Amino acid sequence: MEEVRVRFPPSPTGYLHIGGARTALFNWLFAKQHGGKLILRIEDTDEERSTQASIDGIIEGMQWLGIDWDEGPYFQTEFSQDHIDAANRLLASGQAYKCFCTKEELEQKREAALAQKKSDVGYDGTCRHLSAEEIAEKEAQGIPYVIRFKVPERQGTLFYDDQVLGRIERAYSEFEDFVIVRSNGKPLYLLCNVVDDIRDRITHIIRGQDHMTNTTRQVLLYEALEAPLPSFAHMPLTLDLKKRKISKRSHGEIVAVQFYRDNGFIPWALCNFLCLLGWNPGTEQEYFSREELIQAFDLSRMSRVNSVFNFRPGDAKFFTDPKLIAMNEHYLRSMDLEALGTMVQKELAAADLWDEAYATTQKDWYLHTLGLIRDRFHTLKDFTTAGRAYFAEDYGVDPKPLKKNVLKHPDLKTWLPQLAERYKGLADFSAETTEQLCREFADELEIKPGILINGMRTVLTGQLAGPSMFDIVTTLGQERVVARLSNIDHLYTEA
């Protein structure tokens, strides 16, 4: 069987956004599933809008997501000659022609057609039939021209079989002779993209439904360039709650892949979320490992209707799609601790909390601690915020538990240091012994142990909730627990 070759050809005019990443992911899955190749091609022919920062962002974004490519990145601008050659071939074979109509003439004709309520307001083919002499004369006068593709004069419809949508047809009469080279000599996307896909021997083009109007015209170009037609699969679009297409322009950073990298998301959680935007496995399964997804992915299960990226600008809880947050929590909780350790290391380092010992002598402690505290966390950022007390002494105390669990009981000011004294003398500092001692002390004081336990939690971690108290105590260790419980006056004075 012919080798499967797919491509991801972003235009580097902005950051890599959710929609682009999903396209890359689907192409990657398809390539992996078929033992094929993914080609990364940067379509940088729009010189004014393409930027190096965007190229870097796309590459970094894909690397972060783990979407690796087999060839490239190729840069479209490096193949300009191929595009010009193709246009010249089409001219030479009579399948394209030079059009000298000016913008003003075209606009006038369009308006006239609109005024007459004609349904067809496309190009009327004025320059289609110019003689060689007429062309030579206009050229000699230096009149600028574009090159238009000559749509074959055929009855009936053009069609292709879309792998998602089935047969797509368009009547030949609906096409106008479209421009393939601008008056400045620069070939347009429609042509460059086809020429590159032919050169890169692309077998399957998997892209958004917003490209369907391009596809029918490109089918004509494949035929004219005598190249085999690849398979097309058009994916549903991703919309916001107001049914607007997700775009960098209207939605800002929340749709940028970088945002998720910078805000503590796990790359695979984002991939897993993205794959369910517009695709379903046909089962109840929601969480997929990389291998499972490669196995399960199937273009025929792609939805035909658009999917919704459910976020509400300005709403802290819905700052991104809650399903994506839930996926992130799931992976935080269930992923291999070593792998989590590497990700958290970056966060700790960025917050100046990383200690090299966590990778060597204290590695067991480090991984155990992550395993203990990750259950309630939403993102990797939480390890340096809500989890700061495990890695530093300068952690803040949340005002809510401070009020409820500490300030409400002024006697804790003496009780907790007393408990610290007892802990100090404990030879075997374990969850059992520390709990027992705490309960005995509560009995002596004739108070509920909860008063001591909640106070301790707040003082030791700064948080209202968390893992089991005496697991926290042993994880923090005798020295830190004693020091923190002895030194609580500032909590009363600062409050």
From the list 5-13, 298-306, 323-331, 383-391, the region that binds ligand GLU by CB under 6 A is: 5-13
Q: Does 215 bind ligand GLU (CB under 6 A)?
A: no
Q: Does 211 bind ligand GLU (CB under 6 A)?
A: yes
Cβ(379)–Cβ(328) under 8 Å?
A: yes
DSSP, residue by residue, 349-401: HHTT---GGGGTTTHHHHHHHHHHHGGG-SSGGGGTTTTGGGT-S-----HHH
Q: Provide the minimum distance between the beta carbon of 179 and ligand GLU in the complex, in angstroms, as a whole number.
A: 17
Q: Provide the minimum distance between the beta carbon of 247 and ligand GLU in the complex, in angstroms, as a whole number.
A: 11
Pairing of strands 238-239, 179-181: unpaired
Give the span between the Cα atoms of 168 and 171, in whole angstroms: 10
Give the span between the Cα atoms of 123 and 101, in whole angstroms: 10
From the list 3-11, 30-38, 133-141, 163-171, the region that binds ligand GLU by CB under 6 A is: 3-11
Q: Which is nearer to ligand GLU, 13 or 258 (CB)?
A: 13
| Catalytically annotated residues | 248
Backbone angles phi, psi at 200, to 5 degrees: -80, 5
From the list 9-17, 64-72, 426-434, 452-460, the region that binds ligand GLU by CB under 6 A is: 9-17
Q: Which is nearer to ligand GLU, 10 or 61 (CB)?
A: 10
* Number of residues counted as binding ligand GLU (CB under 6 A): 7
Backbone angles phi, psi at 99, to 5 degrees: -120, 120
Give the span between the Cα atoms of 460 and 449, in whole angstroms: 16
Q: Which is nearer to ligand GLU, 225 or 451 (CB)?
A: 225
Cβ(7)–Cβ(47) under 8 Å?
A: no
Check whether the bond before 73 is cis (ω within 30° of 0): yes
From the list 8-16, 66-74, 96-104, 428-436, the region that binds ligand GLU by CB under 6 A is: 8-16
Give the span between the Cα atoms of 238 and 244, in whole angstroms: 8
Q: Provide the minimum distance between the beta carbon of 8 and ligand GLU in the complex, in angstroms, as a whole number.
A: 8
Q: Which is nearer to ligand GLU, 54 or 463 (CB)?
A: 54
Cβ(143)–Cβ(106) under 8 Å?
A: no
> Which member of 207, 251, 388, 457 binds ligand GLU (CB under 6 A)?
207
CA dihedral 302, 305, 306, 311 (to 10 degrees): -100
Q: Provide the minimum distance between the beta carbon of 9 and ligand GLU in the complex, in angstroms, as a whole number.
A: 4
Token look-up 């490992």 returns: 289
Q: What x-and-dash track marks residues 102-131 binding ligand GLU by CB under 6 A? A: ------------------------------
Token look-up 């000011």 returns: 413
Cβ(295)–Cβ(33) under 8 Å?
A: yes
Q: Does 14 bind ligand GLU (CB under 6 A)?
A: no
Closest CA relative to residue 298, chosen from 26, 93, 46: 26
Q: Provide the minimum distance between the beta carbon of 245 and ligand GLU in the complex, in angstroms, as a whole number.
A: 12
Q: Provide the minimum distance between the beta carbon of 78 and ligand GLU in the complex, in angstroms, as a whole number.
A: 15
Q: Which is nearer to ligand GLU, 20 or 341 (CB)?
A: 20
Q: Which is nearer to ligand GLU, 11 or 33 (CB)?
A: 11
Q: Provide the minimum distance between the beta carbon of 192 and ligand GLU in the complex, in angstroms, as a whole number.
A: 9
Instruction: Report which secondary-structure segment, H or E, holds 338.
Output: helix 337-350
Q: Which is nearer to ligand GLU, 6 or 420 (CB)?
A: 6
Residues contacting 140, CB < 8 A, separation 6+: none
User: What is the amino acid identity at position 268?
Assistant: W
From the list 6-14, 118-126, 424-432, 471-479, the region that binds ligand GLU by CB under 6 A is: 6-14
Q: Where are the beta strands (DSSP E) in 435-475?
A: none
> Which member of 4, 6, 10, 192 binds ligand GLU (CB under 6 A)?
10
Q: Which is nearer to ligand GLU, 198 or 380 (CB)?
A: 198
Q: Does 193 bind ligand GLU (CB under 6 A)?
A: yes
Q: Does 11 bind ligand GLU (CB under 6 A)?
A: yes
Backbone angles phi, psi at 334, to 5 degrees: -110, -10
Residues numbered 27-86 forming contacts with ligand GLU, rule: CB under 6 A? 43
Q: At what angle do helices 431-445 and 449-461 cross, to 10 degrees?
A: 130
Q: Provide the minimum distance between the beta carbon of 222 and ligand GLU in the complex, in angstroms, as a whole number.
A: 13
> Which member of 5, 6, 9, 257 binds ligand GLU (CB under 6 A)?
9
Catalog residues that contact ligand GLU under the rule CB under 6 A: 9-11, 43, 193, 207, 211
